[in-house]
Structure 1
Amino acid sequence: MSIVKEFLLLKRDLGGLIILFVMPLVLVIAVTIIQDSTFKAVTNSKIQILLVDKDKGSVSKTVFENLEKSKYFTVVTQIDNKLITEETARENVYRGKFQLAIVIPENLSSDLQTKVEQNVEKIVSNLGLTDSTATAEPQRTIKEKEVKLYFDPAVQMSFKNAVMSSIDKMISQIETKSIYSTFQKQLGEETINFEQKNFITFKEIIPRINNKEVLPNSVQHNVPAWTLFAIFFIVIPLSINIVKEKSQGTFVRLRTNPVSNLVVIIGKTITYSVICMIQFYMMVAVAVFLFPSIGLPSLNIEGHFLLTSVVALFSGFAAIGFGILLGTVASTQEQSAPFGATSVIILAAIGGVWVPVFAMPKIMQYIAKSSPMNWGLEAFYDVLLRNSSFVEIIPKISLLFLFFIITTSIALFYDKKKRTV
């Protein structure tokens, strides 16, 4: 009867119940579409780069050719049929019309070649391979050259680092090639063909499940994260219902029955566990069946359905325990609703739902481990992305259940203490 009572309370607020189911679905669809389109925009479309060539030599030509060959960049050297100057490039980038401008300094090619020749001559001379009777010419001092990069102030730091790393690698390859060529000339071996390919390369080894490569995508990251967010949002209606029972006298009538408060708590736990699982299965159904029809990757739940259901159930327990504690401690709905919403957002923020934990400052990474949302999220990732077994996720679901036990026990103790006083 305690369970029936809880369902009757939910039935009276159909609008709130619909919002509880519909809003998370809208949220997960919207966020996944945005992140997936952003991912595709970065990987499938080319970014326009302004190139200001003051060098007019072999280095600038090589930079231009390498950028043009790239899958990610398109080089722009003219605006309105006029060659771009550094001032024009800076103005366009800082106004947000372009994300990046590269300015290659004057005499870069000639000065680079001269500097390399000077260094090679020193090495060859020290090895005794030069004519000792020849008069050494005074060497011209070559100043260091700067390739200037102008970034749109709105671009992310990760984009800046990736571009700077790419440009640095490109320039290093040009310098290496110049050194090889100069050695050939100094040694008089014009026919030597030095191999220019990288000796060390990188290859990503992608995990396999049933001999199929598992490629992580926006859906596999977003569905678990926002499912947890939705599950924890039941804190609000649960705490409000508990406050209503106290303010309307329902709780007093319940206490006059020969039933312990634990039975009432169990009734609430079972009822809201059902709500959590319905939320989870709705999210999964949308990710599996609806996402492909709107151009998003489908959620690969094959072989993981049972374990993800277990994680969702224990995440629901943690959310229910928190809601019961909040409803027990709060005196009014004005206290429980804002505090519940705010606390869920904070737990999501520090738990890694919005920003990956590894990208947080060191102190926040330690704090994140105290969030039940982080435990649930890591358990979901273990199952969906890391192909973990039930034994491997036991520590995380145990923490979730322990959180439920602790919060519920505090709520029971607080209620007993308050009634005793």
Structure 2
Amino acid sequence: MLSAIIKEFRLLSRDLHGMVVLFLMPMIFMLIMSIALSQADDVNQNIKLALVGSELNQLNHDVINELMIQQHIHADFFDLTALDKAKQQLINKKYDVLIINVNYQSTSLKDEQPVELLSLASMEQTRLMSLQAIVKNIYLQKRIGTFSTFSSPNEDISGPTPSSQMLTQFLATKIVIDRFINDEGETVIKPSSVQQSVPAWLIFGMFFIMIPLSNVMTGERQTNTITRLRLAKSSAFSLLFAKLIPYFMINQFQFIGMIALGIYFLPIFGIEGFHLYGAFWHYGLLSIAISLSALGYALLVSVLAKTPEHAVVLGGGGNIIMAALGGIMVPSYMMPETMQTISLISPMSWSLKAFHNLLLNQYDFSRILPEWCLLIVFATVFLTLASIIYCRQLKK
């Protein structure tokens, strides 16, 4: 019994690579998720607001004060005459949301217009819903508090008077509404949660092409297939090219399949379907860049891993870490500012940002070129490194 235990420890000592991965990956993942979720209770942290309304309407100033005192949210003020300027600053990402109140001090309840929350279509829906509830509560509290100001002195809101009826009608209306624009200032339809979740999990799935590719390549080494390929004087380039083409096609089928699933299958369950906006070739070029990045990472893991188990742990763990950093598992707005900066190193972050800009903000392809180029550079570097290592393996 003791000998068997000693034998197992000896075997483990020879697998230092696997032991490092086994302990290091969960620790890194735990650290990332703990930091990323450290401020998750405050979904509106770091949000940048501006209220647009009449300078003479004290209600606007009261709302700003309550946002700053109760919610610790800083909000700037623009007069209604500067609405276009405020919209431009929203488009330029200086603000996340504009609170637009077109009502004046003298506006009666029956003529009251809903307060509008204006944001870019890429605004996270959970965050916007939370902000909408906050603004609604504050506005109602302050507006009802000033109700007597706009009512006749002879009216008593506690009884069935015209004023109380007016108040009841007011409370039955939509107090706060939301509207979305793209970076051209054009109104776009409200994005659904499906529009924001499908791209994230699609990208995550494409990077897991690493599992079948690594299984094949580590299997070649274990069965000495790589030795026979070397004796046959096969070029490393042709072998790698032949390997990558099928997996590249699988990635494209993943891309098309996930989108088709969102468009045609989700409505069967009563869920709002997925919609693509803009030219299809924009998404096609983005899919190519994401796939090449995923294949570059997968190939490097495959040539470095000694066994399929190593490849799954190293590659799978790496994918999960990139997803945690890249806003796939935890929306980036929930992370501390330092963490948001660190997340920019993840290729999944570039992919998700580019996809959301095409889909939600309805950018043309030229507007996502920075992220697309980053993905291509990432793919080029990793494919080059993997090719060099594979060539050495063939020679040895």
Range into which the TM-score falls when normalised by the shorter chain: 0.5 to 0.7
Three-state SS of the structure 1 residue aligned to 2:179 is coil
Per-residue CA deviation, residues 331-359 of structure 1 (Å, 9 max, x unaligned), is 11121112221211111111111222122
Pairing 1:172–2:142 present:
yes
Three-state SS of the structure 1 residue aligned to 2:181 is coil
In structure 1, the residue matched to 2:321 is: 346
In structure 2, the residue matched to 1:241 is: 216
TM-score (norm: length of structure 2): 0.56
Per-residue CA deviation, residues 347-372 of structure 1 (Å, 9 max, x unaligned), is 11111112221221111111111111
Residue-pair matches, total: 255
Pairing 1:321–2:292 present:
no
Pairing 1:404–2:359 present:
no
Q: 1:302 to 1:167 in 2, by over 3 A?
A: closer
Alpha carbons 1:208, 1:214 under 8 Å: kept: no
In structure 2, the residue matched to 1:267 is: 242
Alpha carbons 1:304, 1:384 under 8 Å: kept: no
Aligned residue among 232, 243, 259 for 1:257: 232
Alpha carbons 1:228, 1:376 under 8 Å: kept: yes
Alpha carbons 2:277, 2:362 under 8 Å: kept: no
Superposition RMSD in Å: 3.6
Alpha carbons 1:379, 1:393 under 8 Å: kept: yes
Three-state SS of the structure 1 residue aligned to 2:361 is coil
The letter for the 2-side match of 1:306 is W
The letter for the 1-side match of 2:372 is I
Aligned residue among 259, 266, 284 for 1:284: 259
* Aligned pairs (5 A) from 1:90-169: 166-169=136-139
Q: Distance in 2 between matches of 1:301 and 1:157?
A: 23
The structure with the larger Rg is 1
Per-residue CA deviation, residues 163-206 of structure 1 (Å, 9 max, x unaligned), is 6665444443454457889x99xxxxxxxx9xx99xxx986343
The letter for the 1-side match of 2:251 is C
TM-score (norm: length of structure 1): 0.53
Q: Distance in 2 between matches of 1:398 and 1:171?
A: 50
Q: Distance in 2 between matches of 1:161 and 1:213?
A: 20
Q: How many angstroms does 1:396 deviate by?
A: 1.3
The letter for the 1-side match of 2:333 is F
Three-state SS of the structure 1 residue aligned to 2:296 is helix
Q: 1:205 to 1:242 in 2, by over 3 A?
A: closer
Three-state SS of the structure 2 residue aligned to 1:414 is helix
Q: 1:329 to 1:284 in 2, by over 3 A?
A: same
Q: 1:238 to 1:249 in 2, by over 3 A?
A: same
In structure 2, the residue matched to 1:336 is: 311
Q: How many angstroms does 1:160 deviate by?
A: 8.1
Three-state SS of the structure 2 residue aligned to 1:274 is helix
Alpha carbons 1:318, 1:401 under 8 Å: kept: yes
Pairing 1:222–2:197 present:
yes
Three-state SS of the structure 1 residue aligned to 2:345 is coil
Aligned residue among 355, 368, 384 for 2:359: 384
Three-state SS of the structure 2 residue aligned to 1:343 is helix
Pairing 1:231–2:195 present:
no
Q: Distance in 1 between matches of 2:142 and 2:296?
A: 58
Unaligned runs of 5+ in 2: 1-125, 155-162, 171-175
Alpha carbons 1:269, 1:317 under 8 Å: kept: no
Q: How many angstroms does 1:420 deviate by?
A: 6.8
Q: How many angstroms does 1:303 deviate by?
A: 3.6
Q: 1:359 to 1:304 in 2, by over 3 A?
A: farther
Q: Distance in 2 between matches of 1:257 and 1:403?
A: 32
Q: 1:162 to 1:282 in 2, by over 3 A?
A: closer
Q: 1:215 to 1:176 in 2, by over 3 A?
A: closer
Per-residue CA deviation, residues 75-121 of structure 1 (Å, 9 max, x unaligned), is xxxxxxxxxxxxxxxxxxxxxxxxxxxxxxxxxxxxxxxxxxxxxxx
Pairing 1:363–2:338 present:
yes
Q: 1:397 to 1:163 in 2, by over 3 A?
A: closer
Q: Distance in 1 between matches of 2:189 and 2:141?
A: 35
Q: Distance in 2 between matches of 1:368 and 1:226?
A: 17
Q: Distance in 2 between matches of 1:383 and 1:376?
A: 11
In structure 1, the residue matched to 2:284 is: 309
Q: How many angstroms does 1:415 deviate by?
A: 3.9
Q: 1:328 to 1:309 in 2, by over 3 A?
A: same
